[in-house]
Every structure is written in structure tokens, then in C-alpha cells.
Chain A
Amino acid sequence: MSVVEGKELRIVGFLCNWCSYGGADTAGVSRFKQPTDLRIIRVPCSGRVDPLFVVKALINGADGVLVSGCHPRDCHYSDGNYYARRRLEMLKRFLPFVGIDARRFHYTWVSASEGQRWQQTVTEFTTLIHELGPTPAFPQDQTVLKEVRA
């Protein structure tokens, strides 16, 4: 059951195997109540997350994208999340330029022991996405928006 009322939306989460994925597990084991809109994709490191993963998800209909990795200085591979931080910050600043709401994309750091923090992050983010509503679609069929061509 979604904690947030109404229709379930599609939120994609890219979680680092070593921290945030564990953090989400901790939250589950501790039986913290969480919204169910998030679909988790486990990645080996937040450094694995290409900004284009996020872009592709958002263009093709995801209502929100959450990327979560280890806290800076805690990366399992020592520096993956530092690269991720630069790339994702660049992306966050770039998205509004092409008309995608930057609030639909969030990146953060959650460690494996922070079940509580994970629950808060997911709940807050899901609530925000529900307030923003479904993402305006990019036309996926051959018929192009009439008002665009006009």
C-alpha cells in the first residue's frame, strides 16, 4: 500500500549495492513503513550511474528518479561517489534547461545502517512527486503534437 494517497506513480531508484541498497534493506528489516512507488535498480556503485540513465528514465515516462550512494569518503571503491557527485550535479543543473523539472530528480547519500534516513528520504521524495503529479509525457508515437507544429 502506498503511504501516499492516490494513484501509484513510477519512481526509479538507482541504489548503490554497498550502502543505500543495504540501507533500504535495513529499513525493511526494521519494518519501517515506506511508500511503494519506488522501483529499485541495484547498481554496484553510484559511480556506475550514467547521467543518461536518469535522462532516459525521465524522458520515457518515469515520474521521478532517485539516485543514492555511499556518503562521500565511504565509497566501497574509494572514489566512485565523488565522480557520481560531479556528474549528477551537472545533470541536475542541466535538466531545467530542456524543460524537465529538476525536482523530479534527486541524488543523496544513505549508508547501510541508516534505515531511518532511507525511510525519510523515500517518503519525502514520493510525497513530493505525488504533489508534482505524473510527468508530462514526451510524445512516443509518430503523430506529433499539433500545437507544437502550428
Chain B
Amino acid sequence: MNIEKLKEIVRTVLPSVDVVIGYKKGLDALHPVPCFVTSPDEIDALVLNPACTHNLAAYLPSLKKKTAVVVKGCESRTVVQLVQEGLIKRENVVVIGVPCQGVLSARKVLNAINHQPVVEAAFENDAVIVKTRKAETRLALNDVASDKCLTCQYPTPVLSDHLAGEQVESKVDEQAAYQDIRQFDAQSLEERRAYWLKEFDRCIRCYACRNACPMCVCRESCIAETRDPHWMSQKATLNEKMMFHMIHAIHLAGRCTECGECERACPMGIPVAKLKKKINMEMKELFGYEPGISIDDKPPMYTFKVEEEKIEEHKIR
């Protein structure tokens, strides 16, 4: 993450686009916010560090301008997936790629410093030093990184017009990418059921996960809210909460680029990204497909083969 290189790129790109989307300082050092740069004197406000977690590609479908966007590995997959589905035009986007060593989970950091107000934060290669009014804490990046980063396969953007920094190799081998999901699946049915009932019980149906999701593009016609068809009531009961999360997960089948925005946005800390990762794992096993890798691919649910190699007919027992 090289901020000087990034500023240099933004300076060269800015004249040819309407807006550049990057990050600037937010309420504290742990919470940078999206920044829309339209003139050269705004460039110096840009920041780039492991606390920059937002998926800026999520703005692209609603912006009807020529846009340059700063993306990390997972978010470049979002751009690819959006282009693939025809939701944005490739020629309207300039992709500024940032090779990434992993981003912070603000929740994990705050837990580690006992939720004290952060005065300052400094970032090193594999650590973050957080300064509160009382103490200075050094945290290893691995301990406070977002869950998605721990199994990240694409730290270097898969698509970029400009690359701010050196390529980064994935630290996790391909076999281990879905290890957490396999571990979870090794539990008994009752354990998994109890786990999700407990998690979904906290859901307040704020729909932040859906609103943050760059691939949730139905907007006002989302079936979680329409009255016609009336898929769900507004009751705050467990079966309705469960249904909402099923809708989100299944509508993302073969489309989720695992940027982890749903989980980051959740105010209740529900691990909703797990559901999507499970489906992605099955997509890879069934169809050898990963979302957001190539613009010319087709999402597996939008297509078929007459003879499916991996799908066998099920017996009732």
C-alpha cells in the first residue's frame, strides 16, 4: 500500500475522468471514509492503509460518470463481476489497483483495546500500533485482520489499469481457502442449527448487509421489502430473519466476490459472509467457477450444460 504512488497515479488519471473514488481520513485513524476526488487540490487528502476497508466498487453501478476507483484484490473481483453482468461498462471505469496485505477489522481492533477512543494509529508491514489516551498497543496484523483476509486468494487485483505497488502473492494455498467452511461443516446438524439460530437471533433486520453489498443490485425491488410478491412479513421473528439471510445468500449464488462488506456493515457482528462463502465453495466444486475472475465468464446459475459432470441424480435415501 503505497500512498505516494497512488497519489501520482490519481494525478495522471484525474484529467481523463469525472471523479476518482479513494479514501480519506474519517472520524478516527481506524475509520477512513470514501473520498470523491474531482479536482487536483483534493488529492492530498487521500489516505491508504490497512484500515481502508470499504468496497468502493459498490458505488459504480449508481454513478453515471466516468469513474476511476481504488480497489484491492477482492474489490477488483467486484468490478469484474459487475462488468460481467452488464451492470457497468468497462470503458466507463478506470481501475486503480492496490496490492493488499490484508485489511483491519475495526471490530477486532476495538475489542483488543477495550473500546477506548483511538487517538492515533500507525501502520507497519505486519502490525498496527494503536494509540489511545491511556496506552499504546502493538497488534499483529494477522490477529486483527478481517476474516476474509485470512484465506484471501487474490491479494493483487485481478483487473487493473494502474497498479499502485508491487504484486503480492497469496499467503494461503488454494487447498486451505475454504478450510474454515469445511471445519464448520464437520459439525453435526444440530450444532450448525443451534449456531445459526443464536447468530440470527441478534439480527435486527436493518438490512445493512444488503445495502453494503456491491452485488445486491435489485434496489427498491428487493423481495425482502416488496409487498407484491409478499415474501416476508415485518415481524422480528427468527424464521423471518433466517429467511432474509437465505434470500441474500441464495441471490448471491455464484456472484459473491467475498469482499466481506456484509459482515463489516453488520452492527450486530453476525458472520453473514460465511453463508456466501459456503455457496462459493460449492460453486467451485460443482462448476469449477469463482466469481469475478474473468469478464468473459458467465455466472454458473445463468447457464447450464446438458450433461453436468459433477451433478448426479439423487436417491431418496
Contact = CB atoms under 8 A, between A and B. Distances in A.
Interface of A: 51-52, 55-56, 59-60, 72-73, 79, 82-83, 85-87, 89-94, 96-101, 103, 106-109, 121, 124-125, 128, 136, 138-142, 144-145, 148-149
A54 B66 CA distance: 42
Contact of B196 (A79, A98, A109): A98
Given A86-B304, A89-B286, A149-B201, A96 B185 contact: yes
Contacts of B279: 90, 94
B237 A142 contact: yes
B316 A106 contact: yes
Nearest to B307: A72
- Closest 6 CB pairs between A and B? A99-B193, A82-B304, A138-B239, A99-B192, A139-B238, A124-B316
5 contacts: A55-B250, A99-B193, A107-B314, A139-B239, A141-B237
Nearest to A120: B316
A148 B197 contact: yes
Given A139-B237, A140-B237, A52 B250 contact: yes
Contact of B246 (A52, A93, A96, A108): A52
A136 to B, nearest CB: 7
Contacts, number: 123
B304 A108 contact: no
Contacts of B181: 97
Chain B at the A interface: SS class:
helix
B247 interface: yes
Given A92-B314, A138-B238, A83 B193 contact: no
Interface string B279-311: 100110011000000000000110011101001
A101 B197 CA distance: 15
The residue among B193, B197, B239, B316 with the most chain A CB atoms within 10 A of its own CB is: B316
Interface of B: 181, 184-185, 189-198, 201, 223, 231, 235-239, 242-243, 246-247, 249-250, 253-254, 275, 278-279, 282-283, 286-287, 300-301, 304-306, 308, 311, 313-314, 316-317
Given A59-B243, A108-B313, 9 more contacts: A51-B250, A99-B189, A99-B191, A124-B317, A138-B242, A140-B238, A142-B235, A148-B194, A149-B201
B80 to A, nearest CB: 21
B275 A98 contact: yes
A100 B192 CA distance: 9
A60 to B, nearest CB: 6
A8 to B, nearest CB: 19
A55 B193 contact: no
Contacts of B311: 85-86, 89
Contacts of B239: 59-60, 138-140
